[in-house]
A = this chain, B = another copy of it.
C-alpha cells in the first residue's frame, strides 16, 4: 500500500532511513509498504514539499555536498535558513500540506530533542495525530512525557503512534511486548539504557579517569559536546518513563522523566567505580521501574552488579533490559552494538507495522 511520508528532521538518522527504504524497496513492497516521501523539513536548509514525491536519497546527497555552515547558497529546490532546530512552523506547514492530500500518511519525526521538556517533538507529534497522520519517531520525548495522551489522540483519530527507535536504539522492546506477548502483564523492568555512561564506566574500570574518558569519547564522537543529559541520567530517565508509560497497565496519564528518582555519574564517580571493583562488582547506571499500589515508580541509580549477570556483562556501547512478566517469566533483551542503521531500521519496522495494520483493518 502507498504511504505518504513527511520527514520532520533530516539529520543522520533520517538520511539513513531514506536510504534504507531505497535499499529494501523490493522487500518492503513484498510486505505491502510502498513509501512516497512527499515532504522534508530540515534544520538549516528549509523545507520541501511535493505531492508527487521527492527523491529523498538525492536530497540527502545534495545536502551532504553543501558545506554545513548553517547558511549558504541554495541548491535548486532547496530553500536555506538558519535555526537551532527544524523550525516548528515548517513542520506544522508540512503536516498540513500532507494531511490535505487525503491519503494515508505518516510523520517521520527525528528532530533534535530537549529531553527535559520533550519538545518540539511533542508539538509535532500532536499536530500530526490530530491531523490524521500516523507518526513514527526515534525521539523519546513524546513517549516519555505524553505517551498516553498521544496514544489516546491516535486512537480517537484511528491512526498509529510508534516509537520503537526511541529507547533501545532500534532493537524491539515495545513491539516485542505488543506483538509477541499478548495477554501478558508486565510487572516491572530493569536495565542499562544509556550507552554513553556505560562506556564511561567501563573506561574508568580500565584505568582512565572520568574527565579523560569523557574528553576522549567526545573526540571520538561517542559523547555529545554537551554530555550533561547522558551523564546526569536524563536520557535514561526519559527512556524509563517511556517504557513505564507504555508497558505498565497502571491507570492515569503516566509519568514523566521528572518523576523518575534520578542519579547521575556525579563528581566522585572514579572513586565509586574503584570501590565497586574492590568488592568484585561493577558499577552500572541502572534504570528500574515497578508498580507500587497501582502506580508506576521509577528510578535511575548507580548500582553495583555482579560481573557475570545480564547487566554486569555489558561492555562498551551495549544496552539491555530485563522485562518481568507474569506468564512468560523474566525476559532479557540485549543490544550488543547500537548503530545508525539499527536506529533508522526501527523507523522502517514501525512503518511496516502501520502498513500491516492498515491492510488488516482497511
Chain B nearest CB, measured from A16 CB (Å): 10
B330→A183 contact, CB < 8 A: no
Interface residues of A in 294-346 (CB under 8 A from B): 307-310, 312-313, 315, 320, 322, 327-339, 341-342, 345-346
Q: How many copies does the complex hold?
A: 2
B328→A170 contact, CB < 8 A: yes
A329→B339 contact, CB < 8 A: yes
- Least CB separation from A334: chain B residue: B332
A345→B327 contact, CB < 8 A: yes
CB of A215 within 8 Å of the partner chain: no
Stretch at the interface among A48-56, A131-139, A171-179: A171-179
Chain B nearest CB, measured from A334 CB (Å): 4
- Which DSSP category, helix, strand, loop or mixed, fits chain A's interface? mixed
The tally of residues in A whose CB lies under 8 Å from a CB in B reads 51
A300, B170: Cα distance in complex, Å: 30
Interface residues of A in 107-134 (CB under 8 A from B): none
Given A179-B180, A180-B175, A180-B349, verify A331-B334 contact (CB < 8 Å): yes
Binding site for B on A (CB under 8 A): 20, 24, 27-28, 31, 164, 170-172, 175-176, 179-184, 307-310, 312-313, 315, 320, 322, 327-339, 341-342, 345-346, 348-349, 352-353, 356, 359-361
